[in-house]
Amino acid sequence: MQGNQHPSDPPHRPYTDLNPSPSEELTAAEPAPAVSPRPTTRERATDLAARTDFVWHQRFELTVGVYTPGVSDIGFLMDKAAVPERLDGLSVIDIGTTNGGAAFECERRGASRVVAVDISDENWFGFAAIKDYLGSRVEHLRASVYALPELLDEEFDVVLLWGVLYHLRHPLLALDNVRKLARNLVSVESLVCDHLLPNQRDVPVTRFFRADEFAGDSSNWFAPNVRCLTDWCRSCGLEPMTVRAWPEEAPERAMVAASAVRPEWPALSYEQSLRCSVPPVTVLSTS
């Protein structure tokens, strides 16, 4: 198991014969080396949370009272998304999983299958180490959201897309693909621009960032306002059931919990549904 080393026996280990014959000369046993006690669950969790060899993005509980040091609070997001307390027998896909906090929480809530997707491998955000510590069966898939329908060719009962949409240059294509994966519940969480454009909250608008002008991060491309985000979802066949935005007076983030319905846009547009060709980086890990 990752993180554990097992010392090999010395090549000539002294021993004592428990039933020696009178003519045999006994070889005295040397004192056995001291064996350190196995670390407790809390100690292992504390050591894991203190690791700095990968990026911590999410905050979630590893064991009672021990939390990871990320800034994105998974418990808060699970509450905003109104994810059911029990997911027994349901399948879940968590797109943009990073440390895997939402995926592992869905498994804890009883989901029968959980696929955690990210464009980075399972070591960049420490997913493999966290999975090992938890003894989890969550599958890790390294892939782009643009390629997921062709890679998986299946539907999931619950689809999570948290903290991803505003990092994409093609957000509507991403939502179209999310809809193709969805059997029932979809949860979309995103940066929104209501705090940047407070006088246009009733009009569906999007703020575009050409370079790194938002937070010095060149991976931020689009920030829709809450009205635009919900309209995007409806166009793509994700009918909002609840919409929560915070802070309330000038929203910077929003969470849409939607049900999968027939997409609106095919009846309105001459465009055809797109299939995206993405260079293969797919690695599905169940170990």
Torsion of CA 205, 177, 191, 204, to 10 degrees: 10
Residue 45 lies in a domain: no
The whole domain housing 214 covers 72-274
Distance, CA of 284 to CA of 269 (rounded, Å): 36
Residue 232 lies in a domain: yes
Domain CATH code at residue 192 = 3.40.50.150
Six token digits for residue 225: 């306002």
Residue 51 lies in a domain: no
pLDDT of residue 255: 98
Residue 79 lies in a domain: yes
**What is the rounded end-to-end Cα distance, in angstroms, of the chain?**
10
Q: Do residues 181 and 159 touch, judged by C-beta distance below 8 A?
A: yes
Which amino acid makes up residue 138? V
**pLDDT, mean of each 10-residue run, the chain (287 residues):** 38 40 48 65 96 97 97 97 96 98 98 98 97 98 95 96 97 97 98 95 96 95 98 98 96 98 94 78 54
Helical H segments across the chain, by residue range? 41-49, 74-81, 101-108, 127-134, 148-152, 171-181, 226-235
